[in-house]
A and B are shown apart, each in its own frame.
Chain A
Amino acid sequence: MSGPAAWCAALLDPDREVPPGLSTWNGSDPAQRFTVYRNNVTVSLMEALAETFPVCQAMVGAPHFRDLARAFVRRHPPRSPVLARYGHGFADFIAECTLAAPWPYLPDLARLELACLDALHAADAQPLDPDALAAALGRPETLPSLRLGLHPSLATLGSPYAVVSLWAAHQGDGPAPAVNPDRPEQAWVLRRGRAVLVLPMSGGDCRFVRALQVGATLGEATATAAAAASDEDADAAGGFDLTRCLAVLLREQVLTGIT
């Protein structure tokens, strides 16, 4: 390793030699100055992670979170200059990291927090004109073959752990309610105006959205979600409520088009 690669490796790894060829204007020790720079880089990235994953930090405590964040920063430095989007891959990293083993729900909690960040920065989109929907409703025979356009911020998330409740418990100023984490939960994450919303939904509701997102028609997506829901145990949160799904899509202005 030489040149820029060696320089970058040394920037993230305190066990590496300071890159050769550094000089300082006043004759002070370049090794010491480089160490300061290395510390600033690492800490600024750790702080960015703490801002993106505040609930993860609250769940494990700041000292443990710093250990996780430092390990991630050194293994996975940013690939983009946009610091506000840093953190992709953090969930997969902590899923493999023995430091995080005491908190099995932590990877999915991180995925939820990252979904919120992605929703915040997703593109804007105009909501569907209600008249277009009324027109479609006037020709019910066309409904099964309709394709629904969805807001770019909409994402689904499911977990064998109660990460949606854990996340919600950390949003208010009041005391956090007790949450049993060993319970599957699912949510839709979306942005309305400037506010990111995390809406608890069923597994079937999430499958419905994912089918629509890959281009299924309304009829196909409904069949997919309903069939999968009926295959599961009734209490496995697999239920699918088409009316509720459509009402939420309309109320939160997530529908952006019909074709």
Chain B
Amino acid sequence: MNHITTAAALAIALGTAMTIAAAPTSAADTGAKEKCFGVALKGQNDCKAGPGTSCAGTSTKDYQGDAWKLVPAGSCEQTAAPKSPTGHGQLAAFKEKA
């Protein structure tokens, strides 16, 4: 049997892997997301569930206020949204400024 398959080698690999995997990660790394309205280019909005479903990629203009995109948690209200009254993405649908 190959030396690497010994119990001791597996224990070292698994122990190291558990340490690596347990290291603290940022919100972006942990995959936490929030729905962000007003930041998607037209046709690039999320809620993708595959073809035959109706909502993904259906926004018809850039930065549409009622179309959302999943972004790393905490980043939405820092993201520029040209048509948003606040100038940034919002966590709920909004009416675009003229």
Contacts and interface: CB of A to CB of B under 8 A. Distances in A.
A225 B12 CA distance: 17
B53 interface: yes
B5 A120 contact: no
Contacts of B22: 250
A85 B4 contact: no
B14 A223 contact: no
Given A144-B7, A246-B13, A247-B21, A223 B1 contact: yes
B31 interface: yes
Q: Which interface class (under 10, 10 to 19, 20 to 34, 35 or more) fits B?
A: 20 to 34
Interface in B1-24: 1-2, 4-18, 20-22
B9 to A, nearest CB: 8
A251 B50 contact: no
A10 to B, nearest CB: 24
B28 to A, nearest CB: 11
Interface of B: 1-2, 4-18, 20-22, 31, 33, 41, 44, 48-53, 57, 70
Given A48-B51, A83-B51, A227 B14 contact: no
20 contacts: A49-B51, A52-B50, A83-B52, A120-B50, A136-B14, A137-B18, A140-B11, A143-B7, A143-B10, A194-B33, A222-B2, A222-B4, A222-B5, A226-B5, A242-B4, A242-B13, A243-B13, A246-B18, A246-B21, A249-B17
A133 to B, nearest CB: 7
Interface string A124-160: 0000001001101100111110000000000000000
Contact of A251 (B2, B20, B33, B49): B20
B51 A52 contact: yes
A137 B11 contact: yes
A125 to B, nearest CB: 16
A226 B15 CA distance: 19
